[in-house]
Amino acid sequence: MQFIDLAAQQRRIRKQIEANMQTVLDHGQYIMGPEIKDLEGQLAQYTGVKHAISCSSGTDALLMALMAYDVGPGDAILTTPFTFVASAEVIALLGAIPIFVDIDPKTYNMDPDKLDREIRNPESEERHLKGIIAVDIFGLPAEYDQINSIAKRHGLFVIEDAAQSFGAEYHGRKACSLADVACSSFFPAKPLGCYGDGGAVFTDDDALAEKMRSIRIHGKGSHKYDNARIGINGRLDALQAAILLAKLDIFPEEVEMRQKVAQRYTDGLGSHGSLVTPFVPDEMRSVWAQYSILAEDEAHRTQLQEKLKAEGIPTAIYYPTPLHLQSAFENLGHKTGDFPISEGCSQRIFSIPMHPYLSKTDQDRIVDKL
């Protein structure tokens, strides 16, 4: 059994993928070929956002967004410690300081009350708070109505880290349209993934879009050798865009298939008292990048994972160590106990196979073993 079965999806659309790749081989425009514009148009239309700008990865998408806001040494950006390292890594990379805010115990996303408290923390006066990176963990959007209004009150920008949530919904709006800028990833295992690294930034703001387009290509100005600012080599390959175009055709259907798989898990596991299944608030729709469950404690999790492994059922832990306890962020001086909800989740959480092509038989086996 596969944790994410990309081969099943490929069997469905292999011909289209090959045809799209063939087109790139024929025209030879490997960098910024016509597939890029086509993809960006379709991404903008799907998410309902004015500008979708493809780029080389979800990490570079976050970097481009922060650079567009001129984040640098002395600035501080709020984010959660219960996420993939990239969400905070890009902050540190620019010489700014990540300020962690603990998560909501039910959604595992940034807790807006704690965000508000952290901003009001008297120490904040010395920290030059500039913005917030809220993460849509496991494919579920964070609480943007609250986060955006807190940000507005304090003059902060909000970046939606939608690396895991392309295809999710929040109060009738699509993920990637929920903050000032959104950043998504097309890493192969993501709900919409290419066959290598890829990503995109999304915004309705014309000026910010223009700046991010420039940053994506070495800070390009009016022509190729006019460098208006410091940028990066952040383009998406035309070949990856060609693959994404084939996948986008079936993506809305796959999102529905993901809902069915998730619902079957929740129906099957919900009655098992010792496991906590994912919570989805009203008027939200996860895209189920992961289906993650809380065991009673670390020992219980190990026991369940071993039981499943013995049956050939793969599991994974996202994330075993919250970022504030990672060596990479040692300089921030955090210790165990600083973000107890994130720490508790890291000890208890594990994810089970999740993809649109998971069969009922396989799901029944997983539910039965758990």
Ligand X SMILES: Cc1ncc(COP(=O)(O)O)c(C=O)c1O
Contact call for residues 216 and 232 (beta carbons, < 8 A): yes
Alpha carbon 50 to its chain centroid, in Å, reads 20
Two tokens, residue 49: 């956002």
Nearer to ligand X, 54 or 87 (CB): 87
Q: Cβ of residue 198: shortest distance to ligand X, in angstroms?
A: 7
- Find the binder of ligand X among 9, 20, 47, 57 (CB under 6 A): 57
**Separation in Å, CA 332 to CA 39, 49, 234, 338:** 40, 36, 29, 12
Q: Are 350 and 359 in contact (CB under 8 A)?
A: no
Given candidates 5, 111, 160, 161, which one binds ligand X under the rule CB under 6 A?
161
Report the alpha-carbon angle 134-163-167, nearest 5.
100
Nearest CB to ligand X, comparing residues 57 and 363 = 57
Torsion sign (Cα): 183, 189, 193, 194 = positive
Farthest-apart Cα atoms in the chain, separation: 63
Contact pick of 76, 96, 140, 163 for ligand X (by CB under 6 A):
163
Which residue number has the CB closest to ligand X? 58
Choose between 175 and 304: whose C-beta lies nearer to ligand X.
175
Give the helix, strand, coil percentages of the chain, each rounded to 5.
Answer: 45, 15, 40
**Spatial CB neighbours of 149, under 8 Å, sequence gap ≥ 6:** none
Stretch that binds ligand X, among 27-35, 80-88, 92-100, 147-155 (CB under 6 A): 80-88
Size of the site for ligand X (CB under 6 A): 15
Does the protein bind ligand X through residue 278 (CB under 6 A)? no
Binding-residue pattern over the window 329 to 348 for ligand X, x denoting contact by CB under 6 A? --------------------
Binding mask 174-203 for ligand X (x = CB under 6 A): -----------x-x---------x-x----
Nearer to ligand X, 231 or 370 (CB): 231
Q: Site residues (CB under 6 A) for ligand X?
A: 57-59, 83-84, 86-87, 135, 161, 163-164, 185, 187, 197, 199
